[in-house]
Amino acid sequence: MEPKVNIMLISHSRDIAKGLKALITQIAPTVPVLAIGGNREGGLGTDMEMISEALDGVRDQGHTLIFYDMGSAKMNADLVLELKGLQTVEIVEAPFVEGAYLAAVKASIGKTAQEIKLDLERNFPNFLQTGE
């Protein structure tokens, strides 16, 4: 059996992260979803320690795909991954809501993390293009 896939949501807003988690758990209740939003004081922002602590909780529990809302959320996730050297965690370049939602649906039917990433790249091929 393939390792399970966890979904991590990193948003600048606690409400957005929790809301997306609620949406995902309604459609894919068997998929673990970690929602990291805002800073420790409850304001807007992202927090490397909160990301790190959440990843510690799923370290040996399958693969984790990270979805983020804006650039500094990705930057903090990148830094945490670099410091921890985690091989089973990947940042996904896809729209925050649609990408995480589709990933959870695919995880719920047994797709691997790599299959999910390939599917998302096919579904959102121009996500990172700058319009050059």
Please give the mean pLDDT across all residues of the chain: 91
Q: Is there a catalytic annotation at residue 63?
A: no
Helix (H) or strand (E) holding 120: helix 113-123
Taking 50 as the threshold, does the pLDDT of residue 113 lie above it? Answer: yes
Name which of 11-15, 26-30, 55-59, 88-92 the model is least confident about.
55-59
| pLDDT of 70 over the 60 cut | yes
Catalytic one among 6, 12, 66, 117? 12
- Among 17-21, 92-96, 126-130, name the one with the lowest average pLDDT: 126-130
**∠77-121-25 over CA atoms, to 5°?**
65
Query: What domains can you pick out in the chain, each with its CATH number?
Result: 5-123 (3.40.50.510)
C-alpha–C-alpha distance, residues 26 and 38, integer Å: 23
